[in-house]
Amino acid sequence: MNIRESTEQWEEEYLSPYASFSKNSRGREREEAPCDIRTAYQRDRDRIIHCKAFRRLKHKTQVFLAPEGDHYRTRLTHTLEVSQIARTIAKSLRMNEDLTEAIALSHDLGHTPFGHSGEAVLDRICSEGFAHYKQSVRVVEILEKEGKGLNLTWEVRDGILNHRTSGHPSTLEGSIVRLSDKIAYINHDIDDAIRARMFVEEDLPECYTGVLGHSVRERLNNMIHDIINNSYGKKEILMSPGMEEAMKGLRTWMFEHVYKSDIPKAEEGKAQHLIVMLFRFYMENPDRLPAEYRLLTEGREESLERAVCDYIAGMSDSYAIDKFEKLFVPKAWKSV
For residue 228, tell me if it sits in a domain: yes
pTM for the whole thing?
Answer: 0.95
CA 207 to chain centre: 29
Compute the half-sphere exposure of residue 262: CA atoms within 13 Å on the CB side of its CA: 3
> 18 versus 297: which is more confidently predicted?
18
The answer to which of 15-19, 98-102, 186-190, 332-336 has the lowest mean pLDDT is 332-336
- The domain containing residue 132 runs over which residues? 3-264
How many Å apart are CA 32 and CA 48, to the nearest integer? 17
Distances (CA, A) of 142 to 103, 115, 295: 17, 22, 12
Domain count, the chain: 1
d(CA 88, CA 100) in angstroms, rounded, equals: 10
Residue 142 placed within a domain? yes
Q: Residue 299 — φ and ψ, nearest 5°?
A: -75, -40
Residue 223 lies in a domain: yes
Listed residue (114, 88, 98, 2) closest to 45, CA to CA: 98
Strands in 185-275 per DSSP E = none
Residue 185's nearest CA partner among 117, 116, 261, 123 is 116
Give the per-residue pLDDT at 160.
Answer: 98
- Whether 232 has a pLDDT exceeding 90, the answer reads yes
Given a cut of 90, is residue 332 above it in pLDDT? no
Calculate the dihedral angle through the C-alpha atoms of 22, 25, 31, 34, rounding to the nearest 10 degrees: 10
Q: Judge whether 197 lies within some domain.
A: yes
Inside any domain, residue 130? yes
**CA atoms lying within 13 Å on the CB side of residue 311:** 26
8 Å CB contact between 247 and 183: yes
What is the pLDDT confidence band of residue 72, given thresholds at 50, 70 and 90? confident
- Would you say residue 160 lies in a domain? yes
CATH number, domain with residue 199: 1.10.3210.10
Is 7 inside any structural domain? yes
End-to-end CA distance of the chain: 70
**What is residue 25's three-state secondary structure?**
coil
CB 106, CB 48: distance < 8 Å: yes
> Is residue 298 included in any domain, yes or no?
no
Burial label, 256 (beta-carbon count in 10 A; 0-12, 13-18, 19+): exposed
